[in-house]
Structure formats: C-alpha cells, structure tokens
Amino acid sequence: MREAQYAMAMRPILLLMLALLIGGCAHAPAPPEPPSPAEAELRQRILEETLAQIGRPYVYGGGDYDGFDCSGLVRHVYADAGIGLPRTAAQQRREGRAVSPEAALPGDLLFYRIDGGNHVVIYVGDGRGVHAPKPGRTVTVAEIDQPWWRERLHTARSLID
C-alpha cells in the first residue's frame, strides 16, 4: 500500500521532469552570429601573423622576430593587428571579454595554469593553438583539445568584437 501511495505522490514530479526534458530538447540553441566583415578580416590578419611565427625560437621575455615567449608572441601578433596588450600572460588574461572555450574563435586567447604559472595560447581553430612553449623549443602548434591541455585550461578571452 505504501508503495502505491509513493508512486502516486511521485507521478506529478516525474511528469514535470519529463515535460522539462522534452521542452529543453525542443529549443536548440541559436547558431552564433557570423562575424562582421571587419571582424572576419581582423581575425584573418591575426591568424596569418600567428602562423607566420611558427618555428621561431623560444626566448624568455622575447617579443620580436628573434624569438618569443608565450605572452610576447601574443603581444607581437596583436600589435601587428593594431591592438595593444600588456606584456605578461597574467596581465593579458584581464583584457577583452570572457568566452566559453567551446565558443572560442580563431584569434581568441586561451589561458592555462602550467606548473603554477600563466601560459597563453592563440587559438587557430579545429582544437589547435599556437604558442611559444619553453626554452629549447620553438613556436609551435599544439593539439589543445587533448586531456593534458583541457585539465590546465583556466579561461578563454576574446579581444575582438
């Protein structure tokens, strides 16, 4: 008898949950707005300058064609596109607006916590980012959708509106 009373009491709750579930499935999220021509052009410029730096040496504190560290690379690429940024990754992380990592577009910045420090990567699309990793290495493309990267992701920022 108690089981029947319990089942009757739970019925409205289960129906409400089912209605919410079905209703939630009926409303697909709106597709993102396509970028304006000016935004698309700026993102393309950032992407081209980013990719042109692949193979340059890592240089601690570097921010020019002789070599880059992660934030120096970002600062250089954005300066080439007419956007001024502070010097360090920690400072750069406070610029622009937060975006969800899944919504990041080419040219957006992804910030990581690695070995207690800040690291910044320029997102280039398709789960890849360009960064200056560490001494002895060169500016390279990383597969940032891999678990090692996802576990260290701190935030994503867009400086392009």
Does 119 qualify as catalytic in the annotation? yes
Residue 70 appears among annotated catalytic residues: yes
**Active-site residue among 25, 27, 70, 76?**
70
| Choice among 25, 27, 76, 131 that is catalytic | 131
Q: Please pick, among 25, 27, 76, 119, the residue that the annotation labels catalytic.
A: 119
What single-letter amino acid sits at 148?
W
Asked if 118 contacts 112 with a C-beta cutoff of 8 angstroms, the reply is yes
- Cβ 72 vs Cβ 61: under 8 Å: yes
Using DSSP bridges, classify how beta strands 128-131 and 67-68 pair: parallel, antiparallel or unpaired. Answer: unpaired
Q: Residue 111 pairs with which residues in a beta bridge?
A: 120, 155
Asked about 131 being catalytic, the answer comes back as: yes
| Three-class secondary structure assignment of 67-135 | EECHHHHHHHHHHHCCCCCCCCHHHHCCCCEEECHHHCCCCCEEEEEECCEEEEEEEEECCEEEECCCC
Collect all residues with Cβ–Cβ distance below 8 Å to 7 and sequence separation of at least 6: none
Residues noted as catalytic: 70, 119, 131
